[in-house]
Amino acid sequence: MTRSWDPAASDPAVSAIARTPRLLVALDFDGTASELVAEPMTARAVPAVADAVDRLASLPDTTVAFVSGRSLVHLREIAEHTDSSHIVLSGSHGAQYWYPGHGEQDVEPTAEEQSLRDALIDELAPLIAEFPGVEVEKKTFGIGIHGRPATPEVEQAAFSRVDEVFAQRARHWRRRTGDRILEFSSRAEGKDTAIAALRERTGATGVLFAGDDVTDEDALRALGHGDLGVRVGAGESAAAIRVENPQQIAALLVVIAEERAASRE
């Protein structure tokens, strides 16, 4: 049962994750660190979230990561992420990684994957043009179809046409749906993969993961004892607690940063 987080009350689960010996804070980006926007590449972290992330990342034995379905190159752009950043990145639903001091881990699509992706984009482009407000995004390991600027009826009609194409051309690709997005990937990884990889890499004794969409539930279901899942916004969830928006995520991260810093004085 997911319960609402009360910023005005002490919360034992929040205190416990704040005091874990080695903490990993992993955040989805769109709708969690940032507001949801009509133009995907205009998304930016809410200033209060960016400040809280920087504060947490400066603490000992604390790692902060953005875990996104975005391709790594796009995630770096919207996160305003530089080569000197202390923030870990996981893109393409756990297929790509960037680590401080090491940079991007070399994971590239095969020639076959690239060829099929490009052929599908060529086929989809004129089809999608028939649906005002629907856009195609070329991703490292697949294709995203964005419907946010369109009416729900136009979006659904476009998604149905895209499903028909993939049923014929790339039935084996992984299909995902999210908040007004339909995505297909040649890779099978999910955000649960990312959490497992980051936990192992950092030696985390506790993981906080926060997300707002269907694909984030993979990661939330993968959390275990000593972890904390946070759902942003409405919807059924495996998360322990719920916050209303990115601003409340920022408030939650500040509480964790303060308790964590105080526990180490």
pLDDT of residue 1: 86
Tens-digit pLDDT profile for residues 50-81:
999 999 999 999 999 999 999 999 999 999 99
Shared fold status for 3-106+190-263 and 111-185: no
CATH fit for domain 3-106+190-263, picks 2.30.30.700, 3.40.50.1000, 3.30.1330.10, 3.40.50.10310: 3.40.50.1000
Element (H, E) at 52: helix 47-57
pLDDT of residue 264: 78
pTM of the model: 0.90
Query: Average pLDDT of 211-232?
Result: 97
Name the packing angle between helices 47-57 and 246-263 (round to 10°): 20
**Which has the closest alpha carbon to 186: 112, 122, 124, 127?**
112
Query: Average pLDDT of 158-183?
Result: 96
Question: What's the number of CA atoms in the CB half-sphere (13 Å) around residue 68?
Answer: 27
Contact 249, 49 (CB under 8 A): yes
Share of the chain above pLDDT 70, in %: 100
Give yes or no for residue 171 having a pLDDT over 80.
yes
Domain ranges for the chain, please list them.
Answer: 3-106+190-263, 111-185
What's domain 111-185's architecture?
2-Layer Sandwich (3.30)
pLDDT of residue 113: 96
pLDDT of residue 181: 95
CB within 8 Å of 180: residues ≥ 6 apart: 146, 147, 148, 155
Query: Average pLDDT of 39-53?
Result: 96
Average predicted confidence (pLDDT) for the chain: 96
The confidence band for 260, taking pLDDT boundaries of 50, 70 and 90, is very high
